[in-house]
Amino acid sequence: MSHDSEAPLRSSIPSEISEVVPRLGRSEPREMWVIRLCFLTVAALLAAIFRPVGVSGGAGAVAGVLVGLVVIAVELRIRGTKPMGVIGAAAGMLIGTLCGALASFVVSLVALSPVQKSPIELLLLLCFGYLGLVSGTRMGLDTPRGALQNLFGRATVAEESGPPAKLLDTSVLIDGRIADVCEAHFLDGPLLVPQFVLHELQLVADSADTLRRQRGRRGLEVLQRMQKMPQLEVRVLEDGAVAAEVDQQLVALARRLRAKIVTNDFNLNRVASVQGIGVLNVNELANALRPAVLPGESMRVFVLREGKEAGQGVAYLEDGTMVVVDGARRVVNKTVDIVVTSVHQTPAGKMIFGRLDDRADGRRPVQRQAPTAGRTLGPSSAEHDPGSDLPKSGPH
């Protein structure tokens, strides 16, 4: 592909990202900055007038501005914190300060001069207050939503029965079937797309490889489609990305938010399950929804190609299930009736073994029919290469 044809494609990626990411209120209104400026001015004037610790008026104003900047920095930092984290931080700091005051009272009883006692008491207050702040914040973030209401017996029905949030992985967005599941109302609760997942999706869509670029653009289109569903709540979660892999960040975020992970990644599924995190795997859902096939049942299939072993033919059902038919090599590219001899479950999906139904005379009802033309295989058949992993003979 020429560079001229790639230029418009790459320039369209940022516009798609801007359409996917909703307005999250990151741009502050001017009124808030006016209030902060007034706060800094008042802090500087009060410090210059009262002159704390005996400093001059100019030094007191500078100290007031510095203290005001620290307060504004704390306000900006806790703005994106969960309410339970703020409550836990306040409670922890209060308890830590009380413990520090108790320790300072003990120090005051020691036979030391006031000049020696004052730094020790101040240090104890700072240390205990800091420990209480950090511990309270962590405990608050780990506390389930509605725990305080449950403690006092005032939990609402919505808080008791509300569905947990789901974190969407990059693989499930690229796959695209999650949009069909949501459209069928089989998935409820808020769907969260972390910022680092969206960033990884953008990198895939911006890849120089044509196939990867198409997959990334497909993931963005699927996310746009889900955001337009009126019954669905899809939010892009602004979370500070750290220097770690996307899977590790996703597991850590799911543990912190007590959310489930929606993915197609087999390894991520295993890692999250080991750590006690709920996982919704679209591949497992697709395998569970495949129609049951019993030995002795007849079906009509289109033999797509030859099998690995002598005399074998390979067909596929509409859901991508591979069907190995003994003696079907001579009827390749034809639709035939077969009898199921056995069904095997493999890590990649279900495999059906059968043989030609020589007794089919048109009176047997057709129960299933595979596609009658060459079709693109489903995800399960793409993961499991039938040509390389076929058993040498199907059991009868």
Q: Distance between CA atoms of 235 and 168, rounded to whole angstroms?
A: 10
Q: Distance between CA atoms of 7 and 188, rounded to whole angstroms?
A: 39
| pLDDT of amino acid 261 | 92
| pLDDT of amino acid 302 | 92
| pLDDT of amino acid 67 | 82
Q: Is 352 exposed, middle or buried (0-12, 13-18, 19+ CB in 10 A)?
A: buried
Name the pTM for this structure.
0.47
Q: Distance between CA atoms of 33 and 58, rounded to whole angstroms?
A: 24
Q: What is the pLDDT of residues 219-263, one digit of tens each?
A: 999 999 998 888 888 888 876 555 568 888 888 888 888 889 999
Comparing CA positions, the residue from 279, 143, 268, 251 lying closest to residue 194 is 251
| pLDDT of amino acid 239 | 63
Neighbours of 66 (CB within 10 A): 14
What stretches in the chain show pLDDT beneath 70? 1-29, 52-55, 79-82, 141-162, 239-244, 347-348, 360-396
Q: Distance between CA atoms of 263 and 261, rounded to whole angstroms?
A: 6
Phi, psi (rounded to 5 degrees) for 191: -105, 120
Q: What is the pLDDT of residues 343-393, one digit of tens each?
A: 887 766 778 999 998 775 444 444 444 444 443 344 443 344 444 444 444
Q: Distance between CA atoms of 53 and 61, rounded to whole angstroms?
A: 13
